[in-house]
Amino acid sequence: MSLIEAKNISYTYPDGSKALQDVSLKVEKGEFVGLLASNGSGKTTLLRCLNALIKPQAGEVAIDGEAIASLPQKVLFQRIGMVFQNPNDQLFASTVAEDVAFGPSNMGLPKDEVKARVEDSLKAVGMDDLGKKSIHNLSFGQQKRVCIAGALAMHPEVLLLDEPTAGLDPMGEHKIMELLLKLNNERGLTIVMATHMVDMVPLFINRIYILSRGKVLREGTPEKVFSDPEMIRDAKLRLPMIAELIELMKREDGIHFDRTPLTIGEARRELVKMITLRELKR
Ligand SMILES: Nc1ncnc2c1ncn2[C@@H]1O[C@H](COP(=O)(O)OP(=O)(O)OP(=O)(O)O)[C@@H](O)[C@H]1O
Ligand SMILES: [Mg+2]
């Protein structure tokens, strides 16, 4: 049984915008899944449906086989963590530690347990020395980390993140992705994240869903999904930059590659192999 399953869900906003149409998705325990799509494709709407912030007009979302519509909100917020795109929509306490403590305190946990969870979560996101700092004085990247810590403190079974790297500098982007990968690898946390950062996907994510105009266009490993450049362009996305270069070399320069590398590391290996073979032939 999948940990999270959306079965044929559709959602139309009150103004008539059809944000999701017949979307199905399955996430297994321990997976790191990406929802990859251009702006306005339905990523945020889908994440909101997955943690019952909004209720699809058709279809159903289940966690461990149980329809989420039938679960009390308090249970849901504990089992399914959510990190919003904008930290301002999430942070509201005055200090970092108070904010992270809010969820566990609200669950009615004993003080010691709340304290231990706050410490552990802040440590996990590398913010353990900033517990007393005012939320207002944090940098944007630090705010994002506190949002993740707040969700972790609930000990959720699955963490949903809406563009966790948006607005960060290149190093910040990488650090957040490494943090998520670590949480996935070391704690076995199941992760579903929305993103439009195609270059990042093959480095970190096992499986992706491509959304376009509220529908799932394709699902699979990055290798599988990016092997169809036409579909990717149809979704108003592009291949990872390095794959665009290799595709161009194949098409315009007639250079043969066994496969299209998706990361700089893979491209380097392919190119070194090719150059070494040529030199040997000389
Ligand atoms: N509150 C709302 N009321 C009406 N329409 C909405 C609302 N929120 C989103 N939409 C519409 O639903 C569609 C999907 O929007 P959604 O925010 O889910 O896309 P997204 O993939 O998250 O986009 P982005 O990358 O810009 O965050 C869009 O056409 C959008 O205009
Ligand atoms: Mg969005």
What CATH number corresponds to the domain at position 175?
3.40.50.300
Question: Do 9 and 88 share a structural domain?
Answer: yes
% of the chain surpassing 70 pLDDT = 100
Ligand 1 centre from 19 Cα, in Å?
6
- Write down the residue that tokens 């599988």 correspond to: 224
Check pocket membership of 166 for ligand 1, CB cut-off 6 A. no
Is 131 within the bounds of a domain?
A: no
184, 42 contact by CB (below 8 A): no
Question: Do 169 and 264 share a structural domain?
Answer: no
Number of domains in the chain: 2
Is 170 within the bounds of a domain?
A: yes
Question: Do 177 and 77 share a structural domain?
Answer: yes
pLDDT digits (tens, 9 = 90+) for 142-159: 999 999 999 999 999 999
Distance, CA of 267 to CA of 247 (rounded, Å): 12
Question: Do 255 and 282 share a structural domain?
Answer: yes
The mean per-residue pLDDT over the stretch 208-222 comes to 97
Token duo for residue 150: 């707040």
Listed in sequence order, the residues at least 6 apart from 64 whose beta carbon sits closer than 8 Å to its beta carbon are 1, 3, 157
What pLDDT is recorded for position 233? 94
Question: Do 170 and 274 share a structural domain?
Answer: no
Please state, rounded to an integer, the average pLDDT across all residues of the chain. 94
Check pocket membership of 197 for ligand 1, CB cut-off 6 A. no
The bound ligand whose nearest atom lies closest to the alpha carbon of 42 is 1
pLDDT digits (tens, 9 = 90+) for 80-128: 999 999 999 999 999 999 999 999 999 999 999 999 999 999 999 999 9
The DSSP element (H or E) to which 252 belongs, if any, is: helix 241-253
Question: Do 190 and 256 share a structural domain?
Answer: no
Angle at 81 between CA 141 and CA 183, to 5 degrees: 65
CA-nearest of 207, 256, 252, 248 to 229 is 248
pLDDT digits (tens, 9 = 90+) for 48-93: 999 999 999 999 999 999 999 999 988 999 999 999 999 999 999 9
Is 98 within the bounds of a domain?
A: no
Closest ligand 1 atom, residue 214 Cα: 14
Nearest CA owner, ligand 1 atom 27: 39
219, amino acid identity: E
Question: Do 178 and 77 share a structural domain?
Answer: yes
Domain that holds residue 262: 240-282
Our mutation pick for probing the ligand 1 site, out of 9, 17, 89, counting the most ligand atoms within 8 A of Cβ, is 17
What pLDDT is recorded for position 9? 98
Report whether pLDDT(162) > 90. Answer: yes
Q: How confident is the model at residue 195 (pLDDT cuts 50, 70, 90)?
A: very high
Our mutation pick for probing the ligand 1 site, out of 10, 11, 13, counting the most ligand atoms within 8 A of Cβ, is 13
CA-nearest of 32, 262, 274 to 158 is 32
Is 122 within the bounds of a domain?
A: no
Question: Do 189 and 79 share a structural domain?
Answer: yes
Token duo for residue 82: 């959510």
- Write down the residue that tokens 């989420």 correspond to: 68
Report whether pLDDT(265) > 90. Answer: yes
Is 111 within the bounds of a domain?
A: no
Is 213 within the bounds of a domain?
A: yes
Answer yes or no: pTM beyond 0.85: yes
Question: Do 81 and 23 share a structural domain?
Answer: yes
